[in-house]
Structures are given as C-alpha cells and as structure tokens.
Amino acid sequence: MLASDLTSAEYLASSLTFGTTYEFKVESRNSYGYSAYSSTTSLLCAYIPDPPATVTTTNTNDQVTVSWSDPVANGQAIHAYRFYVLQSDGVTYTEESTDCDGTNASVVSNRQCTIALLTLRSSPYSLTLGDSVSVKVVSVNTYGESTASSAGNGAVIQLVPDSPVNLANDAATTTDTVIKFTWDDGASIGGTSVLDYDIYYDQGSSVATYTLLAEAVANKFYQTTVSLTAGETYSFKVTARNSVGDSAMSAIVSILAAKAPDAPVSFANVSG
C-alpha cells in the first residue's frame, strides 16, 4: 500500500526514480467497507528536460558549428532541440531553423548542427564581419520544452578576402621567356588568414576568357613556368583564398614578355 485514508481524489507520489514506469490502483471506502480495485494505470516518472549546461559556437570554413552538452532528460528521452541566435542589435534572440533542423535524428544524437555564415549575415540576424555568434539552445521531450540555455559563443562572422591589389611586373626578373609579378592583399582578408592564391591568365590571346595557370600559390608573387612567346603581352588575374572561400578576381596586370637586347657581337670596318 502506498497511501491510505485520503480524503481527496488526487495523490502526489514522491521519492520516485526518473525514467521508471509505475503502476497504480485505487480503492475507495465508505462505512460499509472497501470497493474492488480500480483498473491499473501506468505512469512514467518524467518531466520536461533541463537545458544544455554548455553551448559553444566555432568557425568551420563557411559555417558556424553549434555544439552543446548532453542535457538531463528528466526521465523522458529528448527528441528535438530549438536554436536561438542573437541578432545584430545585441538584444534579440531569434529562432534559427533554416540550417539547424533540431528534429533531425543526427543533430539530436550528435548534439551538433551548422549554420551557414551567409544565413547569419542575412535578415533577421544581420551580423557583420567580426560580430560574435551567440546561440541559446532549448531541449524538447514529450513533456515539453526546457528553458533556454545560457548563451554560447566563440565563433565570429568571417568573410572571403577582398581581391588582391597592386599587381605589378617584377622587371628585374621578367624576360622574353619568363614573367614574374607581385601583388598585395586587399584591404580586408575576411577576419581569418589568407591560405593561398590562384593565378589566371589569358594565354597571350587578349580575350576575356582566363584560364587557371597555377593554384595554391603560397607567396604574394608568381613566376611563370609555361612556355611564353617572346614579344607577346600576357594578362594575369589573381584570387585569394581563406577558410571561408575565394575572393573575386583581381584587376588585370598586362606584362610584355621581353628583355633588353643582347650586346652586339661583331664589328667590321666599312671603307668608304
């Protein structure tokens, strides 16, 4: 017997174990004695879940990864999460469901999802370069939703770099068979280091189509290794790459494959 002599039609059972199903029967009594038992009712000892204790955001290429600790489920498995991202006003948290599907089984089991930087830069978040990405997470089970977690952060808004600038011929190296040129990074590298550069050229054809000449160039200069035609002008463009992606192409630099003439090699007296 769990309880007796109750005078109301309700009872609060205590000291139970979360996640355990309990069965209950009730009998009533009047001055003539006790009734038969009621039918059995089975009740799971469970409640709405706790929120995640820890939430973090990290930059992952052109996305932000949201991760969180395993919340206390309070007796009933968590089957979904909801995500709220801080807007650029620094006050308003808005639910994000475009990229983070909190009902996805993989998201639930791995406790991780990703949001595209493009999504975070768009309305309603409207975050800009260098802004912190703060996210709150809500746990959901069949009994309801937890309160929101504390805000987690760590990631910032990053962009692709600006196009390289100041492309210039290295006249000390360029000859009729080799062209070398240099460049500088654009005004912004997007909040994260430039990894490398890709080189494009027109193959000396002076047409609008540019062909990839070299990729993953580590330094801010390039020296040709392809065969060039002496006296031909070649046009080059450069793109920069960081962890977010590639810049737009730079402005063109056009360089003549040429060098100073060789010295004369013989002399002859010409009599008049």
**Do 169 and 189 meet the contact criterion of CB atoms below 8 Å apart?**
no
Q: How far apart are CA 64 and CA 148, in angstroms?
A: 20
Instruction: Give the CA radius of gyration of the chain.
Output: 35
pLDDT number for residue 272: 60
What's the pLDDT band for 263 if we cut at 50, 70, 90? Answer: confident
Whether the predicted pLDDT of 269 surpasses 90: no
150 and 192 inside one domain? no
64 and 149 inside one domain? yes
pLDDT number for residue 158: 98
What is the domain range of residue 109? 55-156
Q: Which residues, including other chains, have CB under 8 Å from residue 259's CB and lie 6 or more apart?
A: 174, 175, 176
CATH assignment of the domain containing 78: 2.60.40.10
What's the pLDDT band for 84 if we cut at 50, 70, 90? Answer: very high
Closest to 161 measured CA to CA, from 184, 181, 185: 185
Residue % of the chain over a pLDDT of 70: 99
Over range 26-31, report the average pLDDT.
89
65 within some domain: yes
Q: Strands, DSSP E only, in the chain?
A: 21-24, 29-30, 33-34, 41-44, 55-60, 63-68, 80-86, 93-95, 112-116, 132-141, 144-145, 152-156, 165-169, 180-184, 196-201, 211-217, 221-223, 233-241, 253-256
pLDDT number for residue 148: 97
pLDDT in tens, 201-234: 999 887 778 999 999 999 999 999 999 999 999 9
116 and 187 inside one domain? no
Q: Which residue type does 89 have?
A: D
46 within some domain: no
34 within some domain: no
107 and 188 inside one domain? no
Q: How far apart are CA 133 and CA 88, in angstroms?
A: 9
Q: How far apart are CA 181 and CA 143, in angstroms?
A: 66
3 within some domain: no
Number of neighbours of residue 108 by Cβ within 10 angstroms: 19
What's the pLDDT band for 18 if we cut at 50, 70, 90? Answer: confident
What's the pLDDT band for 242 if we cut at 50, 70, 90? Answer: very high
Query: In this structure, what token pair is assigned to residue 66?
Result: 């949201």
235 within some domain: yes
For residue 112, list its beta bridge partners.
Answer: 67
The total domain count for the chain is 2
CA 97 from chain centre, in angstroms, equals 15
100 and 193 inside one domain? no
Number of neighbours of residue 214 by Cβ within 10 angstroms: 17
Over range 170-183, report the average pLDDT.
96
pLDDT in tens, 105-155: 999 999 999 999 999 999 999 999 999 999 999 999 999 999 999 999 999
Whether the predicted pLDDT of 195 surpasses 80: yes
| pTM for the whole structure | 0.80
221 within some domain: yes
Q: How far apart are CA 25 and CA 35, in angstroms?
A: 12
CA distances from residue 63 to 52, 156, 172 in whole angstroms, order as listed: 22, 10, 43
19 within some domain: no
146 and 170 inside one domain? no
DSSP string over 41-69: EEEE---PPPPPS-EEEEEETTEEEEEEP
What's the pLDDT band for 179 if we cut at 50, 70, 90? Answer: very high
Least-confidence region, from 45-54, 77-86, 131-140, 237-246: 45-54
What's the pLDDT band for 20 if we cut at 50, 70, 90? Answer: confident
129 within some domain: yes
pLDDT number for residue 19: 75
Q: How far apart are CA 272 and CA 259, in angstroms?
A: 35
73 and 134 inside one domain? yes
Residue % of the chain over a pLDDT of 90: 75
pLDDT number for residue 31: 85
Q: Which residues, including other chains, have CB under 8 Å from residue 48's CB and lie 6 or more apart?
A: 74, 141, 143, 144, 145, 146
Q: How far apart are CA 215 and CA 197, in angstroms?
A: 6
Domain final residue, candidates 156, 175, 190: 156
What's the pLDDT band for 95 if we cut at 50, 70, 90? Answer: very high
196 and 141 inside one domain? no
